[in-house]
Homo-oligomer: A and B are copies of this chain.
């Protein structure tokens, strides 16, 4: 009971809901810099909120060199039904814009992995153009 309350407390912040929405949208692993770019918030803020979600056992982490990948923690009992509910429940607001920015940002990945840190919003489009040219 207290445990459930802790989970809802973790979901009781707009930034953390935006983070959860992003994970539910991709179903993929994401590193901190990608989420920082998607939500357009200071890195330390993203880090803190991710830690909160991890302590609530909604997310899990996996380190790969300097990069830390976060993803939905499917191992916890009840999380599956929670995630399924959230996926349909989180709509409207700025959720869609976050998803769009994330989609853009993920183009910069190489072989499915993040290869750059935080990208200033002003430089993203140019970098995407270069990336697409390289791939061709």
Is A115 among interface residues, defined by CB-CB distance under 8 A?
no
Across the interface, do B1 and A93 meet the contact criterion of CB distance under 8 Å? yes
In chain B, what residue has the closest Cβ to A78? B89
Query: How many residues does chain A have at the interface if contact means C-beta atoms less than 8 Å apart?
Result: 26
Across the interface, do B13 and A90 meet the contact criterion of CB distance under 8 Å? no
Number of this chain's copies in the assembly equals: 2
Across the interface, do B81 and A1 meet the contact criterion of CB distance under 8 Å? no
Interface residues of A in 61-78 (CB under 8 A from B): 78
Is A109 among interface residues, defined by CB-CB distance under 8 A?
no
Interface residues of A (CB under 8 A from B): 1-6, 8-9, 11-14, 16-18, 78, 81-82, 85, 88-90, 92-95
